[in-house]
Structure 1
Amino acid sequence: MTAPIPRDIPDLPALPRTRPRLLPSAVPARAVVPLVRRPVAAAYRLTLALVATGAVLVEILLGSPARVLGYFAIQSAVVLAVVMLASARRAWFARHPLPGAVTGAALLYIVMAALVHHLLLADATPRFSMTTTPAGPSWLAPLADHTLHTVLPVAALLDWLLLSPPARMHLRRAATWLLYPLAYLAFTLARGELLPGSPSRYLYPFLDVARHGYRSVLANALLVGLSFYALAVLLVALDHARPNPVRRHSKTGFRL
């Protein structure tokens, strides 16, 4: 006759009750989020790209192309036009937006060019102009200048605040964004040395080595560079603090 089977076996340890753990996935979250078309954002960015292109073309037609294309504001407008055109295409075809490092750089350059113009150049004596002997109607050059230094920066800020998702800029990119201004400083100083007899050898008065000397010019460049970095940090901080303006709609395939 066999012994009864005990209901509890004390020699066996109790199994721990643990919840199943989810394995980490290598697929980013945005890869599984359905993308939708954003026609309003696409139309706005396409318009902004066309306005920037038109302002640059007007400045080139009114002045010397070699001189006009050397200005930081003109180059920033060209960068903005390219970035806005690419962003408009992605928004229209329901693709992932451009990296925050690219859009943040374009925004930083166009805003900083506007601040330098309004704070340092608008009331300069003699009067600052990117076209020394403009041709055509007298109102065309001021309109192009106003578009480059006021309309485009404000429009780019509105696109960032109202039509772009937040928290896409990172602080580690702030120092990287300064590489282009540093390269531009080297370009404008080299241009001045290569054109010793030209009256327009230095494009900006605060970078005029012939008038102020290298010590003052480098000090001015340092102040502008620190302002660049401070503005970049401010944009990154605001990008992480602002609410998400991109509204999701589950019933339709469109959103702003």
Structure 2
Amino acid sequence: MTAPFSTHVPASAVVPPVRRPYAAAFRALIALAAVTGIVIDMVLGNPGRALSYFTIQSNLLLAAVLALSAHRAWSARPPLPPRVTAGALLLISITGLVYHLILADDAAAFSMTGSPAGPHEVANQLLHTVTPLATLLDWLLLTRPGGLRLRDAALWLLYPLAYLIFALIRGALLSPGTPARYPYPFLDVPTHGYAGVLKDAVVLGLLFYALALAVVGLDRVRPYLRGRENRISSPGAGGLK
């Protein structure tokens, strides 16, 4: 007796892959903005020192995620997991918010005391303003909502925690007086002591967690703006493609 003929039809046969060139181009432009800002910062200063900054690391991660997402959109491949792309959004949002709310005045003072103001300001705006805002727009307008879980919010915070440990160990190993021994003022152990730094880290960590929860919550309520040609995500999956 022969087995009954299977009626299962692959999803790819039901919904044919669709290339999304406009979404891919937008993603590629954001990745290019991030890479341009990183290159400017490295040319202006010490490349090794530049790589110690959360700003550079988050923009490197974003550039990699968006470059891969752009390739998938262009070639009609499945999207990246939502937790990956939303995690990149969270990290670059932290970069932009910390800069504009805490560090902007210090950065302006730095550019007026020796660093080339023009190129340095271009890099600052690309890395702290253009990439966060463009990534947020991309996530809000060009992705299908859904796919995030509450546990993702805690998972995303592992990277800021790892960065804190890295920055403290690096600062402890470098000699006193080394330029940018501690990358950010709120991590400066000689000024605040370990207790002060950890207190600031806890406060910032709680704020970052609240921001991560906001991303998850917004993902559940934001509207789905339909449109085949310009969407990054396929109809059957959430997250950025």
TM-score range, shorter chain: 0.7 to 0.9
Q: 1:39 aligns with which of 21, 28, 37?
A: 21
Structure 2: gaps spanning 5 or more residues: 1-6, 232-241
Task: Show structure 1 runs of 4+ deviating over 2 A.
Answer: 25-35, 123-129
**In the alignment, is the contact (CA less than 8 A) between 1:246 and 1:255 conserved in 2?**
no
Residues 27 and 64 of structure 1, relative CA distance in 2, 3 Å threshold: farther
What is residue 150 of structure 1 aligned with on the other side? 129
Cα distance in structure 1, aligned partners of 2:44 and 2:79: 35
Question: 1:13-162 maps to which residues of 2 (within 5 A)?
Answer: 32-124=14-106, 127=109, 134=115, 138-162=117-141
What is residue 224 of structure 1 aligned with on the other side? 204
Q: 1:173 aligns with which of 145, 152, 156?
A: 152
Q: Encode CA deviations 1:155-195: one digit per residue, 9 max, x unaligned.
A: 00010011111113221111111111111000000011001
| Structure 1 residue 27: Cα displacement | 9.4
Cα distance in structure 1, aligned partners of 2:213 and 2:8: 30
Structure 1: gaps spanning 5 or more residues: 1-24, 249-253
Which SS does the other structure have where 1:95 is aligned?
coil
Q: How many residues align?
A: 224
TM-score, structure 2 as length reference: 0.86
| Structure 1 residue 93: Cα displacement | 0.8
TM-score, structure 1 as length reference: 0.81
**In the alignment, is the contact (CA less than 8 A) between 2:142 and 2:230 conserved in 1?**
no
Higher-helix-fraction structure: 2
Cα distance in structure 1, aligned partners of 2:220 and 2:94: 20
Q: 2:186 aligns with which of 172, 189, 206?
A: 206
Task: Give the structure, 1 or 2, with the largest relative contact order (CA under 8 Å, sep 6 or more).
Answer: 2
Q: Encode CA deviations 1:47-94: one digit per residue, 9 max, x unaligned.
A: 111111111001000011111111001101001100000000111111
Query: Matched residues, percent identical?
Result: 54
The structure that has the greater radius of gyration is 1
Cα distance in structure 2, aligned partners of 1:116 and 1:147: 15
Which SS does the other structure have where 1:243 is aligned?
coil
| Structure 1 residue 153: Cα displacement | 0.4
CA RMSD of aligned residues (A): 2.4
Aligned AA (1:85): A
**In the alignment, is the contact (CA less than 8 A) between 1:72 and 1:113 conserved in 2?**
yes
